[in-house]
Structure 1
Amino acid sequence: MKKALLIMAILLLSMSVLPVVAQDTEEEAPLERADADFVVWVDSNYVDAMQALGDQFAADFGVTVAVQESTLGDVDNVIPVAAPAGQGPDVFFTAHDKLGNLVSGGLVAPIEVANPDGFAESAVNAFLYNGDVYGIPFSIENIAFFRNVDLVPEAPATWDDVVAISEELSADNGDNFEDNAYGFVRQSGDPYHFFPIQTAFGGYVFGQTEEGYDPTDVGIASEGSLAAAEFWANYVEQGLQPPGVDWDLLHAMFEDGQAAMIITGPWALDRIRESGVNYEISDLPAETDSGKPFLGVWGFVVNSFSEQQMLAGIFLNEYVATDEGMMALYEANKRGPAWLATIEAIDDPDLAAITHAGVEGLAMPAIPAMSQVWDAWTNAINLVQDQGEDPDASFENAAEQIETLIAESQSN
């Protein structure tokens, strides 16, 4: 009866947000908890690896273990209904930026990380929320600096170096965009890819305390952020950055040799490799500080409604967070690892370089206030890059908008 009510609740919830149109195909039933003592939900790429770890755990503790294929969509749509009804998994995977909603909804329990020194510090910090750690990370993803080695033999160490290289490569440019050559080029707007420039000049989005990100400390108009905005305004004014560059054009320019340097991530590797361009990947340039990218981190969290929370802690710390466990997960799906020993063992030089660029990165803030940031921040960058507006005024106005929106959201 409980299971039937659970399914009905999920279906009613999904119907309430769908447009009223005829459905040509039968909808998939929501994921249901397997009939086992201990249940894990994980992305399809990791099911076999996690089941193998679960089988070892089952043999040692005399329990039955089921690992089920899940999606990040289930974290949003199924867990909030299934967990309180006692039908959720004991452990499930999630992206760290969903943590704010999971914690505020009372859906996940804090977990003690038995060997924090085994992880990249930034990966563990990604699951820090209000002073507690809520997850065991296993994968990180970030952007890095790509360059055409034929045009830029040595990786630039600083953004001043980037400017010098770009000036040299663009020296003969004229009015015809298609005939022009460029050094470093970035896509319009897109704070995610602008953030490493901002951090290189000492800028930030939210301040940090021992408990995590502080939504009352908005850094979009901090001294370092304004320095980055001014740097970029000067770069654009020199004609080193063409206007109206979207993601596809940016990558086409790099693959065709028109742009010598870009910032992108592992999702672009296949097309860059297929293009035949002679490229290398390196850390993001520094300036007054190191260039730190945002990190996206995947990890395992414990269902706060689970009756197996003690077993969950043992399983995650003693079976998953080990050299063998983390290597098994990496071999199952070769994303950047969060485990230091696995990072050292990466056998793909491109992935190794990208991961290295993110080891000191900053987890994308998971606090609800982050939702107030993106539009205003994007608009500020666009005003500077594509409309030639004053950088200080653009970023200061964005910071004021963000602070107002956060204050309004906290008062409701």
Structure 2
Amino acid sequence: MTVAELEQQFNEVYGLSVQIFRHSGKAWLETTVTDKWTLEKHYLLPGLLFAILGFMLWRFAELHAWYGIALVGIFSLLIIASMVLAACQPAAPTEEPAATEAMEEPTEVMVEEEPTAVAEEPTAEPTEEPAPTDVPAPTDVPAPDATIRIWADDTRAAVLVELADEFLATYNVEVVVEEVSGIRDQFIIAAPAGEGPDIIVGAHDWIGSLIASGLLAPIDLGEKAADFTDLSLQGFTYTDGQLYGMPYATENLGFFYNTDLVTEVPTTWDGVMALGQQLKDEGKVQYAMALAGTTYDALPVQTAFGGYVFGLNEDGTWNANDIGLAGEGEVAALSFLRAQIEAGLIPDSYDWDTAHTLFETGQIPFLMAGPWALDRIRASGVPYAVTSFPAATEGGAAGSPFMGVQGFMVNAFSENVLLAQAFLTEFVATTDVMSQLQVTGNRPSAFVPVLEATEDADLAAMDIAGANATLMPYIPEMGSVWGAWNSGVTIALSGEQTPDVAMGDTVTQISDLILGALAGMVNIPGSWQVAGAACGSDWDPACATSALTDNGDGTFSGTFNIPAGEYEYKVALDGSWAVNFGSDGAQDGPNYALSLAADSVVTFLFDSSTNLVTVTIE
């Protein structure tokens, strides 16, 4: 018997409107989309059947005697319970279930007007038994009752597509996985319009702005929550205490070292530089270490000395008013790095590709890098291992990297929130699928059974290196940090300003950005800014001297004298990278290229209606 047939019989035989629900994890799923299933099939799936009685339309409701109603109610509930329990028993594998005979209509109880006298109960004539209904065997596969759409990148999409057939067979719900670039920005537009996916795949630091816009639905992992690492769950837990994503991977920097050059990794940064000096004196390396960047990629040095970006409130939430980038710890870290640059132990360029090339060719023994660099480092053939970061002093706290958490989020505007959650908790949160996501993504799994069983020594080491990691702040104010932070560190390491002055200006700039002091600024940050606009550093979206002028017609322009060379740039709004446009006019799009054969006068014209830049070269 199918769910639909059972509900129909309750209506025809007893006059009851009944809706069957199925238990899944901690959620009760209405069986509307699985009404064609048999009760046996529901019984064999995770969860139990539970009958929720709807509005009861039957003639005994008109009776006024409380005991008459009670007797009928109890009798009916016993019938319901017996039918559901009987229907849920597994059928014999070789026999068709016998047709269910209709039960006799219950006798009518008559009550006199006087409350003390009860009339004799006449016996009702039994109704005819309905003939057994032969249910024809289905000849066609039924059309899906619903569709779940998922937006993912190409790496994760390949794994999720493999789950579609199983989910369709289980729920008769189609799963469509779409490879989408710029998921967050497109989701912000599509979700409120009812055109977004049911599930998106992305980073935990998206949740701040998405929740503020009302775009994410909370997720209840139930007992499955115990299978995820604590830090990964914290990443998707918002200030209201609710979970807004199911994690699948974590990512953070680790401390790579050349095993041919280093047999024992020093426990302090001074020790790292001392060993680097020794290897350099022996002619084995060019530098002790190279910086792949000034902010995220150099954070483990800064945090080892006590630097931090945002402080925390008492409840553990981020405090955007407590900016630690001008504190004693940050100043000490930059002073240390500046001294190593002056000593020739760290190059004075902070380019990601250059730093990795130096490590891959054996020119530096140490490198701070993430799991995204593993394929490249492995292919280089350099002998290496990964460990945790050194401390500033012996016995001090080890350097702490930022941690990002990758996961699945559910669209609050979805009509299939419960089905989306069932897909995640029942089909994705499994050892097999999480193992595939770890292998294809080359990131430590956030799923404890997979993480503990991993045979990838690099991923296991990356996880250990991130044991003391700081979660990437998900508050919107973080978008105001990157450009100013990079500019301040670059100026401090160049020696143009002392670290305390450079970072003091940085914090002022960040505070102004958070308060909106630079709202309305249109800038052209890029590799040309130092040479052509006298900015303190390149790629600074808040540099006043490279900002464009408002022409009053929706366009902004600026003219600059730029030396010959090859450059790249983008458009950034409001003095930060929170809103930026690339060469295709798209948010977070690719860089523009600017090639100057000779020193030139260059005019940039930005059209806010298209988000495109026109360049005139004289």
TM-score, normalisation: structure 1:
0.81
Write out aligned runs for 1:217-366 (5 A): 217-287=322-392, 288-366=396-474
The AA in structure 1 aligned to 2:295 is P
- Could you say if the C-alpha distance between residues 158 and 35 of structure 1 is closer, same or farther in structure 2, counting changes exceeding 3 Å? farther
Q: Helix, strand or coil for the counterpart of 1:67?
A: strand
Provide the alpha-carbon RMSD of the alignment: 2.8
Distance in 2 between residues matched to 1:391 and 1:85, nearest whole Å: 48
Is 1:69 matched with 2:178? yes
Tell me the CA shift for residue 180 of structure 1.
6.6
In the other structure, the counterpart of 1:205 is: 309
Q: Helix, strand or coil for the counterpart of 1:129?
A: coil
Count of residue pairs brought into register by the alignment: 371
The AA in structure 2 aligned to 1:157 is T
Write out aligned runs for 1:369-384 (5 A): 369-384=477-492
- Could you say if the C-alpha distance between residues 229 and 249 of structure 1 is closer, same or farther in structure 2, counting changes exceeding 3 Å? same
Specify every segment of 5 or more residues in structure 1 that has no aligned partner in the other structure, as ranges.
1-33, 174-178
Distance in 2 between residues matched to 1:380 and 1:144, nearest whole Å: 24
Distance in 2 between residues matched to 1:145 and 1:204, nearest whole Å: 19
Tell me the CA shift for residue 291 of structure 1.
1.7
Task: Between the two structures, name the one with larger relative contact order (CA 8 Å, sep ≥ 6).
Answer: 1
Distance in 2 between residues matched to 1:43 and 1:80, nearest whole Å: 17
Tell me the CA shift for residue 211 of structure 1.
5.6
Contact 1:233 1:388 in 2 (8 A): no
Moved more, 93-102 or 375-384: 93-102
Distance in 1 between residues matched to 2:485 and 2:327, nearest whole Å: 13
Contact 2:167 2:175 in 1 (8 A): no
Q: Paired residue for 1:196, among 283, 293, 300?
A: 300
TM-score, normalisation: structure 2:
0.55
Distance in 2 between residues matched to 1:130 and 1:58, nearest whole Å: 36
Write out aligned runs for 1:86-97 (5 A): 86-97=194-205
Contact 2:512 2:518 in 1 (8 A): no
Write out aligned runs for 1:5-20 (5 A): none
Q: Paired residue for 1:152, among 253, 257, 262?
A: 262
- Report sequence identity in percent: 40
Q: Helix, strand or coil for the counterpart of 2:516?
A: helix
- Could you say if the C-alpha distance between residues 89 and 143 of structure 1 is closer, same or farther in structure 2, counting changes exceeding 3 Å? same
Structure with larger Rg: 2
Higher helix share: 1
The AA in structure 1 aligned to 2:212 is S
Is 1:136 matched with 2:240? no
Q: Paired residue for 2:321, among 216, 239, 248?
A: 216
Tell me the CA shift for residue 65 of structure 1.
2.9
- Could you say if the C-alpha distance between residues 180 and 82 of structure 1 is closer, same or farther in structure 2, counting changes exceeding 3 Å? closer
Give CA-to-partner distance per residue, 1:344-399, whole Å, 9 cap, x none: 22232223322332243223222221121111211221122223631222222212
- Could you say if the C-alpha distance between residues 54 and 244 of structure 1 is closer, same or farther in structure 2, counting changes exceeding 3 Å? same
- Could you say if the C-alpha distance between residues 144 and 180 of structure 1 is closer, same or farther in structure 2, counting changes exceeding 3 Å? closer
Specify every segment of 5 or more residues in structure 2 that has no aligned partner in the other structure, as ranges.
1-143, 521-618
The AA in structure 1 aligned to 2:375 is D
Is 1:108 matched with 2:212? no
Distance in 1 between residues matched to 2:257 and 2:440, nearest whole Å: 29
Q: Helix, strand or coil for the counterpart of 2:462?
A: helix
The AA in structure 2 aligned to 1:71 is V
